Amino acid sequence: MIYFNNVSKVYKDAVALNDVTLTISAGEFVSIVGASGAGKTTLTKMILADDFPTEGTVFFESINVHKLKNKDLTKLRRRMGVVFQDFKLLSNKTAYENIAFAMEAVGKTDEEIASDVPHVLELVDLSHRLFHFPDQMSGGEKQRLAIARAIINQPELIIADEPTGNLDPINTHEIVQILKKINDLGTTVILATHNRGIIDSVGKRVITMENGKVIRDTKSSK
């Protein structure tokens, strides 16, 4: 599904990625772990074509993501959902409206929105927050809403970049369980984190990064 072919990224004097080659297959749950500055976020940005490699090529299926025109890149990104550490929710919209907004952006009808939004909120255990605004929610609830928004258009891939960085252990566990549930339904999940405890609880493939290099690639332990 995703293939990095000898990808390097250099920012002035800083090396963010150093000759990375790896493959992520459809349906995998892959955790990318490493300290701050190890290259995790740069790696995920390459998949989204939010950043460009200094050398090498990134493929999504057979598509070189950095050769796409803006129109085609937009179509590709609709096949992906992204979850951020800082939620990036619309503060002036309710939980329902935040998700509806994402559906409207891809041309879904009012009927589809009315049908699908309650279902996805139930999936992340937020049915009781349907008409609440983000500032009326806890950090864990905000992140679950962000996940619901990321999956509402049924992407093939979810990229979660430090999604539990601002959460306590209980909420962290809940978020990881939701990501595992999404993966069990067939969606490929890439989880970038510096939290080793999260990785151990997932029990799936782990790619360890250090100074922009992949230093270890461990297959599923479960």
Provide the residue ranges of all domains of the chain, joining segments of one domain with +. 1-79+191-222
High-pLDDT (> 70) share of the chain, %: 99
Q: Rounded mean pLDDT of 83-104?
A: 95
Higher pLDDT, 115 or 169: 115
Q: Which range, of 94-103, 135-144, 199-208, averages the lowest pLDDT?
A: 199-208
Consecutive H or E run containing 6: strand 2-11
Q: Tell me which architecture the domain covering 1-79+191-222 has in CATH.
A: 3-Layer(aba) Sandwich (3.40)
Answer whether residue 221 shows pLDDT above 80.
no
Residue with tokens 């990064």: 209
Maximum Cα interatomic distance, the chain, rounded to a whole number of Å: 52
Sorting pLDDT into bands at 50, 70 and 90, what band is 165? Answer: confident
Q: 130, 141, 121, 193: which is closest to 164 by C-alpha?
A: 193
Sorting pLDDT into bands at 50, 70 and 90, what band is 202? Answer: confident
SS3 58: strand
Spatial distance between the Cα atoms of 163 and 143, rounded to a whole number of angstroms: 7
High-pLDDT (> 90) share of the chain, %: 87
Residues written for the chain? 222
Would the CA dihedral through 8, 11, 14, 16 be positive or negative? Answer: negative
Q: What is the structure's pLDDT at 222?
A: 59
Question: pTM (2 decimals)?
Answer: 0.94
Sorting pLDDT into bands at 50, 70 and 90, what band is 143? Answer: very high
- pLDDT, one tens digit per residue, over 22-42 is 999 999 999 999 998 999 999
Q: Rounded mean pLDDT of 63-74?
A: 96
Token pair of 171 as six digits: 């909420």
- Mean pLDDT for all residues in the chain: 94
Q: What is the structure's pLDDT at 57?
A: 98
